[in-house]
Structure 1
Amino acid sequence: MITKTLNPPVGRSTLPFIDASHPDRPLAVNCYRPARHAPNDPVIVVQHGMLRNGDDYRDFWIDAAEKHNLLIVAPTFPDEPFPKAEGYNNGLVISGDGAIAPRADWLYAVPGRVLDALRAAGVIDKPVIRIFGHSAGGQFVHRMLATEGGALFEAAMASNPGWYTLPTLERRFPEGLGGLGLDPDALTRWFAYPMIIFAGNRDIVTSDPNLPAQPEALAQGPHRFGRAHFMLDFARAEASRLGVPCNWQLITVDGIGHDGAAMSRAAAAYWFEGGRIPSAEELGKQVEPVL
Structure 2
Amino acid sequence: MATTTEPDSQGAHLLGATPFFASQHDQRLSYALYVPKDHTPDAAPLPLVVVQHGTGRSAEAYRNHWKQFAIEHRCVILTPLFPAGLVEPGELHNFKFLEYKGIRFDHELLHIVDEVGARFNTETATFYLHGFSGGGQFAHRFLYAAPDRLAGVSIGAPGRITELDDTLPWWLGTGGFAERFGVPIDLDAVRRVPVQMVVGGDDVETWEIANVGGPNWMDGVERTGRTRVERLETLRAGFVAHGIDVRFDVVPGVGHRGSLVIPVVQEFMADLLSRRAA
**TM-score for both structures, normalised by structure 2:** 0.78
2:35 to 33, 55, 58: 33
Aligned-pair CA distance for 1:74: 0.6
2:221 to 217, 220, 224: 217
Q: State the partner residue of 1:284.
A: none
Aligned-pair CA distance for 1:210: 5.6
User: For residues 15 and 266 of structure 1, what CA distance do their matches in structure 2 show?
Assistant: 27
Higher deviation after alignment, 184-193 or 153-162? 184-193
1:16 to 16, 21, 33: 21
What's the secondary structure of 2:78's corresponding residue?
A: strand
Taking structure 1 as reference, are residues 116 and 255 closer, same or farther at Cα in structure 2, changes over 3 Å only? Answer: same
Taking structure 1 as reference, are residues 26 and 259 closer, same or farther at Cα in structure 2, changes over 3 Å only? Answer: same
Aligned-pair CA distance for 1:169: 1.2
User: For residues 66 and 141 of structure 1, what CA distance do their matches in structure 2 show?
Assistant: 24
CA deviation string 1:41-62 (max 9, x = no partner): 2321010010112111111212
Q: State the partner residue of 2:174.
A: 177
Asked whether the equivalents of residues 45 and 122 of structure 2 are also in contact (C-alpha less than 8 Å), the reply is yes
Q: Which amino acid aligns with 1:197?
A: M
1:87 aligned onto 2:94: yes
1:73 aligned onto 2:78: yes
User: For residues 93 and 271 of structure 2, what CA distance do their matches in structure 1 show?
Assistant: 36
Pair member with larger Rg:
2
User: For residues 129 and 56 of structure 2, what CA distance do their matches in structure 1 show?
Assistant: 19
User: For residues 258 and 46 of structure 2, what CA distance do their matches in structure 1 show?
Assistant: 24
Q: State the partner residue of 2:59.
A: 54
Q: Which amino acid aligns with 2:157?
A: N
Asked whether the equivalents of residues 39 and 125 of structure 1 are also in contact (C-alpha less than 8 Å), the reply is no
Aligned-pair CA distance for 1:185: 5.8
1:132 aligned onto 2:136: no
Asked whether the equivalents of residues 133 and 157 of structure 2 are also in contact (C-alpha less than 8 Å), the reply is yes
Aligned-pair CA distance for 1:152: 1.9
Asked whether the equivalents of residues 47 and 132 of structure 1 are also in contact (C-alpha less than 8 Å), the reply is yes
What's the secondary structure of 1:151's corresponding residue?
A: helix
User: For residues 187 and 224 of structure 1, what CA distance do their matches in structure 2 show?
Assistant: 25
What's the secondary structure of 2:150's corresponding residue?
A: coil
Aligned-pair CA distance for 1:187: 4.0
Asked whether the equivalents of residues 36 and 76 of structure 2 are also in contact (C-alpha less than 8 Å), the reply is yes
**For 1:155-166, what aligned pairs fall within 5 Å after superposition?**
155-166=152-163
Asked whether the equivalents of residues 60 and 265 of structure 1 are also in contact (C-alpha less than 8 Å), the reply is no
User: For residues 174 and 127 of structure 1, what CA distance do their matches in structure 2 show?
Assistant: 28
What's the secondary structure of 1:121's corresponding residue?
A: helix
Q: Runs of 5+ in structure 1 lacking a partner?
A: 1-6, 96-100, 240-244, 276-291
User: For residues 189 and 145 of structure 1, what CA distance do their matches in structure 2 show?
Assistant: 9
1:236 aligned onto 2:240: yes
What's the secondary structure of 1:250's corresponding residue?
A: strand
Q: Which amino acid aligns with 1:221?
A: G
What's the secondary structure of 1:169's corresponding residue?
A: coil
Q: State the partner residue of 1:226.
A: 230
CA deviation string 1:227-249 (max 9, x = no partner): 11111123333x2xxxxx32233
User: For residues 239 and 256 of structure 2, what CA distance do their matches in structure 1 show?
Assistant: 23
1:154 aligned onto 2:156: no
CA deviation string 1:32-84 (max 9, x = no partner): 11212355223210100101121111112122223323311011101022664
User: For residues 174 and 224 of structure 1, what CA distance do their matches in structure 2 show?
Assistant: 16
2:248 to 244, 247, 250: 250
Higher deviation after alignment, 180-189 or 83-92? 180-189
**TM-score for both structures, normalised by structure 1:** 0.75
User: For residues 185 and 217 of structure 1, what CA distance do their matches in structure 2 show?
Assistant: 21
Aligned-pair CA distance for 1:88: 1.3
Higher deviation after alignment, 183-192 or 112-121? 183-192
User: For residues 261 and 23 of structure 2, what CA distance do their matches in structure 1 show?
Assistant: 29
Q: Which amino acid aligns with 2:55?
A: M
Q: State the partner residue of 1:288.
A: none
Q: Which amino acid aligns with 1:87?
A: N
